[in-house]
Structure 1
């Protein structure tokens, strides 16, 4: 939790949740029926924003945003100028700097920014203000409830439905923002949990400003890959564990959010990579995590299973089958139509599976589990959660090296008998864990650890190629495609299986 009380003027503590609803128009009614909101009178507003930055996107580079907002209509029309800074985190729960002031009309007012100390430091001579220009806009209908409790707690719950626009490009807005107006942050988290029990949510780390810049560049739904952190050699245990886990979980949730809007097969792949990285790091850090219980991941199991099925189909459609077409058709052109019919069956199955994954994202149990992990990760960022066990510097580096040596030993044991399918599968899983953790903790490991990383990648690729062909054969049988193609895929997979894997590199970290 960022604090034990309301953050005060110049700060905004909020939880942002995307709403993957099939019918956004009905969300306001659903929310109004929730016990926590049922006695609160909703306020409806039309909100239009214009976001500004310099041609070099200097505000974006600093994770800052400046917008001009028009609220209401007619006699109730009001213009607001808002400057925001970021806490630098990557979670849906954020503590941001915020300075908002009324302005006379649809133009930025330089003097209104002087109340924000970060702006004074950023633009002492006014040169940046002079370079500001409109970048993109947002327009949405806001339905807001203010939840007040007897202890003085006040929380605004705002439902925003509309669009982000940049030139000819647009993207939907369908999200819920919970902002603490007064009281303790624990109340904010409790209310978010209550809502997530009934309404499907996805924790959303990216602000409207961040998504607007991405839309402008055409990268809004670009798959998010791993972003290893720059960990200093004197990093503390808390400073290592929480950011590493947070980055991995952010990869998972960001790709899930994009998957709801885009058909790029890489999104499902990177979502699964993010989750496997997160799970691998949890195993690595298990012995040093604070006593507080980890949230249950049971609610995610159906979604994870569906994602695995989608990835199998996507790999077959985009990699395995195109690579094998020539071998099947070679010397027998009459086989081509049979292969094409099989590819169409796979493509249709992938399409249906992707829609099934999206329906799973609309289940409240999924969002409740994701929110629980988000709030747990925020707890891990608090010094008081760690106490005296928060070691740093050389002690952290020694602990990391010892853990990697132990993991490497487990991997070597699995590789000793790599001719058996079960052992190969375990060797591949351990190769992934070794690879993910070395990648994430690279700054704390000696350079020679890269030898293990390179070989782990090779082993993973070698076993994966054989597994992909075998899986394509199983899928072909399940889809009842041409029997001759099924036998061809089985035979090809059998020809790849059984080759021993390269022995692991010797030597310690």
Structure 2
């Protein structure tokens, strides 16, 4: 996540927002009605870009992008060559290096890159430039408003609708970019919040260039899994808390964005994992974070509930029920027919619930809360935000983290001692997840013995989770009014599994 305290020449501070709407054609009209944009005349233009990289993807490896942009009509086209560098973060809010110059025509100009210090460091001998070739293209209509505020700030609001294309593959572009042209970053944040109150948005970390590369590689909708940060032993508070939380939040939002148009059940799972990791780490860090109030995520609750219900159906369809089919059918044709009818009912319910999730993503409250969290995380990236935090402990980060994990482990041990009924088992499982996720995220700061705790917590999570999945399959089967014999079978199987002493199977003493 970038610090927004500096915004100078060669820098581009912007917020990117995906627009999860069922009616992209109406977006320009919706935006034009917003009070902040209503009295400003938009400028429309067709934008065509060609992105370049080497066969070994030298620019992509450095999180850089180089493009040729064509604007204007066929009678008087204009060409711009743009070189961009990334801030290295995974946030919708980005502070990037940008060097853009007019060029005579549809060909790269090497001399135009020499004004960019990062390019000079990357390619002092010109070998990279000589190896450049077209990779993918984007074509979109841009509708842009220039917002001049009384405080002197100037912001461009750009609606982009079109496509990214690589060979025979394509993916739609439907996004909003807010770029700060002049003034303080707070003006950018205020306008973004104003838009999010009225129009459904999702923070979008991946640039068009990043999505183009992923489209070309066939990895565009690959579920994003946890990628714990590499933390040094003498890390400062803002260099520990903000990157850890930012990575977790990025996992959540990246999978949400992919869920808009991909049916992979793993996206649902990884989105929920990302959110639970984030929420658990916020709870762990809460005594030490700056005094500013945590942003509310009440507006996310309908989406989170819908995701949970979809995950239950996905697990039943892909894991629980396939594993039990032979035990129920037992080579009986009549039972096989009933089982197949039940599977069809579950798949239909999953399709309907996936639609419900996508509908929930279109609620402005979701984007508004996600944007508030994005800006809160950015604020925590600045050292000065921590200067007057009354909760900041007077001890090293490593020592404080170890004490917090030890405290969490003690809470988990206490919950395990009373895990004989469903409610207490659920609490033990929740604490196991929190312990596991936080140990994984903070591993470089923790002693070796916590790896044993991690293994044990993972075992408890899996054991209780498997029993819970069986029980939930029976509940869903009854709700979907499937064959009574199957409902009874699922209940009986779940009851038998509940008698298994899962806790005794853990390696060693907890």
TM-score tier after normalising by the smaller chain length? over 0.9
Following the alignment from structure 2 to structure 1, what is the Cα–Cα distance between the partners of residues 428 and 333? 40
CA contact (8 A) 2:290 2:392 kept: no
Following the alignment from structure 2 to structure 1, what is the Cα–Cα distance between the partners of residues 394 and 211? 37
| Secondary structure of the structure 1 residue equivalent to 2:286 | helix
Shift of 1:448: 2.2
- In structure 2, the residue matched to 1:51 is 51
Question: Map of 1:277-288 to 2, 5 A cutoff?
Answer: 277-288=277-288
- In structure 2, the residue matched to 1:375 is 375
Query: 1:135 aligned to 2:135?
Result: yes
CA contact (8 A) 1:81 1:108 kept: yes
CA contact (8 A) 1:237 1:392 kept: no
Following the alignment from structure 1 to structure 2, what is the Cα–Cα distance between the partners of residues 2 and 138? 29
Following the alignment from structure 1 to structure 2, what is the Cα–Cα distance between the partners of residues 109 and 145? 30
Question: Map of 1:476-487 to 2, 5 A cutoff?
Answer: 476-487=477-488
Query: 1:265 aligned to 2:265?
Result: yes
Question: Map of 1:16-31 to 2, 5 A cutoff?
Answer: 16-31=16-31
- In structure 2, the residue matched to 1:457 is 458
- In structure 2, the residue matched to 1:84 is 84
Shift of 1:77: 1.5
Shift of 1:330: 1.1
| Secondary structure of the structure 2 residue equivalent to 1:40 | coil
| Secondary structure of the structure 2 residue equivalent to 1:47 | strand
Distance change >3 Å, CA 2–CA 417, structure 1 → 2 = closer
Distance change >3 Å, CA 231–CA 392, structure 1 → 2 = farther
Shift of 1:504: 7.8
CA contact (8 A) 2:142 2:161 kept: yes
Shift of 1:331: 4.5
| Secondary structure of the structure 2 residue equivalent to 1:197 | helix
Distance change >3 Å, CA 208–CA 318, structure 1 → 2 = same
| Secondary structure of the structure 1 residue equivalent to 2:261 | coil
Following the alignment from structure 2 to structure 1, what is the Cα–Cα distance between the partners of residues 203 and 137? 23
| Secondary structure of the structure 2 residue equivalent to 1:81 | strand
TM-score (normalised: structure 1): 0.97
Question: Map of 1:380-391 to 2, 5 A cutoff?
Answer: 380-387=380-387
TM-score (normalised: structure 2): 0.97
Structure 1: runs of 5 or more not aligned:
none
CA contact (8 A) 2:248 2:275 kept: yes
| Secondary structure of the structure 2 residue equivalent to 1:193 | helix
Query: 1:332 aligned to 2:332?
Result: yes
Q: CA-atom RMSD, angstroms?
A: 1.5
Query: 1:343 aligned to 2:343?
Result: yes
Following the alignment from structure 2 to structure 1, what is the Cα–Cα distance between the partners of residues 79 and 107? 9
Following the alignment from structure 1 to structure 2, what is the Cα–Cα distance between the partners of residues 248 and 342? 37
CA contact (8 A) 2:277 2:434 kept: yes
Shift of 1:392: 10
Following the alignment from structure 1 to structure 2, what is the Cα–Cα distance between the partners of residues 402 and 105? 62
CA contact (8 A) 1:234 1:392 kept: no
Following the alignment from structure 1 to structure 2, what is the Cα–Cα distance between the partners of residues 76 and 29? 29
Following the alignment from structure 2 to structure 1, what is the Cα–Cα distance between the partners of residues 395 and 114? 44
Shift of 1:394: 7.7
- In structure 2, the residue matched to 1:275 is 275
Q: How many residues align?
A: 506
CA contact (8 A) 2:290 2:388 kept: no
